[in-house]
Each structure stands twice: as C-alpha cells, then as structure tokens.
Amino acid sequence: MQSLKILLLGAAIGSASVLPASASSSAWYNSEGGKVRLVTSGKPDEAGRIQGVLDIALKPGWKTYWRDPGDAGVPPQLNVSASTNIADATLSFPAPQRHDDGYGKWAGYNYPVSLPVVFTLSTAKDSAVIDADVFLGICETICIPVQTRLTVDPGSDPDNADDAALVKASFAALPAPARSDFGINVLPGDHETLVVEASFPGDPEAADFFVAGERDYMFGAPSRSEKDGKLIFTVPILDRPSATPTDGGLHYTLTSSAGAVEGLLPFP
C-alpha cells in the first residue's frame, strides 16, 4: 500500500465542484476505478433521522475499504459540516472480506457496495440540504483517493421508489446484532494481544473476525487456533493509546457461512 500513501499526499488538491441540490439522490461522481453517489429515502422520522446510502459502484477488479482499512488504507469518510440543518451522519458497514495485496492484509469489498448512513437533522421539523464531503480509497494495483462533495435535497423526492428500494436493501444487508450463539467472548490476553473465542453456526473454515482500530488502536491480521472445540482468534495490537478509554468500545464483525453479526468489544 505504499503507492496509496504517496497518492494521498496530493488528495486535497482536487475535488468535484458542488452540485445543485435538486433530487433525493446526488449525481454520480466518476473516478478511474468507479463512481460514487449519495442516496436518501423517505421523510425524517420523529427523531429527525433520514436513512440513506453512500453508493459505491466499483469497476471490475477494483476494491474499497471497510471501516478499518489496515495499516495503510483509507476508510470511507463523510463530513456533513457544510450542510443545512444536518447535525450528524453515521456510516454503517456490511460484512467485509479479507484481502491480501502482497503488502499486507486488509478488510474491504471487491464488488459494488452501498454503505448505509443515517443523517440526523439539527431541527426535526425543518427542511435540510445535505452537502457531504466524501473521501475514500479505491484500489486496483494502486489505490486512488476519491474526494468530492455530493449534494442532496432529501425533501425533493422523498417517495422515489428506486431510492427507497436501494436504501431498504442496504440496511437489510447489515450484520445482525451479536447473540449468545453467534458472537465472541473476550479471553485473557496481554498488552500486545487481543484474544477472542468465537461462537457461530456453519463451517469453521469460513469464519473470520474483523475488529476496527479506533481511538488510536491499530490491529494486525488475526491468527486462528482451536481450544476445547472452540475457534480462537488472536489479534496483534500494533498500537494503542497511552491511556485505555473508559467509554464505548471497538466495533467488530464476525462472519461465517451462515451470515454475519456485529457488536462492540471492551477496549483491551
């Protein structure tokens, strides 16, 4: 991924111009490896939340990243600070695949993917315009940083059937919440290792564990072992904050041949 690091140095010098807010989905922004747009659907709920997706249409042979890209990638980022009456935007991620590009292993997608996003209005009853600065990396043999601003007026066509179908399908494809028979238990580790025991249905060979490095944590690729008939994932902690956070946790996804679940891990 050294090529990505080089390309990122120049990422800020070029971005798409602001598009007029005229539809519940933005125009596509085209790049060398694919195209990206924002789609919204429906009116805000009582809490002032609007569902949408960051729609990434990759060309064959190209890839993009999960919420944790590894040690040299770029996770998708969405900044809505330039918007009107939008307080926050929260991205969610479908279950990723593990890739090895010869430089390192990383988590992401090698097919077109729609990332669900929830937009929260500052004032629930007022109209809103989404001006979202988007930044993500898409990769073939090298990685290209994609930087653009996408503009959407979610109230202009809130009953668009195509938009509604895309948003509904994208949220339905997210991992389910972890449960007792499909999830992980944290085992004793040390300062440099996160160890979890996985429970899941399906073929053990198909199971994989992904943990997102956040709050100054960085993780390596997990190794697999078996103990008392249980699958164990041991994850190197490559970097960590000087003080362990006391609030929240780390996002994880556990996949198997029977599907995927997600949850939060306590900070190691």
Whether 260 and 253 have beta carbons less than 8 Å apart is answered as yes
Q: What digits encode the pLDDT tens for the residues 121-130? A: 999 889 999 9
Q: Is the pLDDT of residue 135 over 80?
A: yes
Taking the chain, what is the end-to-end CA distance rounded to the nearest angstrom? 27
Whether 196 and 232 have beta carbons less than 8 Å apart is answered as yes
Q: Is the pLDDT of residue 93 over 70?
A: yes
Distance of alpha carbon 48 from alpha carbon 27, whole angstroms: 24
Q: Is the pLDDT of residue 228 over 90?
A: no
DSSP secondary structure of the chain: -HHHHHHHTTGGG--PPPPP--SSBPPPEEETTEEEEEEEES---TTSEEEEEEEEEEPTT-EEE-S---SS----EEE-TTSBSEEEEEE-----EEEE-SS-EEEEESS-EEEEEEEEESSTTS--BEEEEEEEEEESSSEEEEEEEEEE-TTSSTT-HHHHHHHHHHHHTSPEEPBTTBEEEEEEEETTEEEEEEE-SS-GGG-EEEE---TT-EE---EEEEETTEEEEEEEEEE--SS---SS-EEEEEEETTEEEEEEEPP-
Q: What is the mean pLDDT of residues 144-153?
A: 94
Q: What is the mean pLDDT of residues 195-207?
A: 94
Domains observed in the chain: 27-173 (2.60.40.1250), 175-263 (2.60.40)
Listed range (67-76, 136-145, 179-188) with the worst mean pLDDT: 67-76
Give the CB-side neighbour count of residue 248, counting CA atoms within 13 A: 8
User: Residue 229's pLDDT is what?
Assistant: 87
> pTM for the full model?
0.88
Average pLDDT value over all residues in the chain: 88
Q: What is the mean pLDDT of residues 135-153?
A: 91
User: Residue 170's pLDDT is what?
Assistant: 97
Q: What digits encode the pLDDT tens for the residues 31-63? A: 999 999 999 998 899 899 999 999 999 999 999
Distance of alpha carbon 149 from alpha carbon 262, whole angstroms: 30
Q: Is the pLDDT of residue 207 over 70?
A: yes
User: Residue 196's pLDDT is what?
Assistant: 97
User: Residue 72's pLDDT is what?
Assistant: 67
Q: What are phi and psi of 169, to 5 degrees?
A: -65, -35
Per-residue confidence band for 71, with pLDDT thresholds at 50, 70 and 90:
low
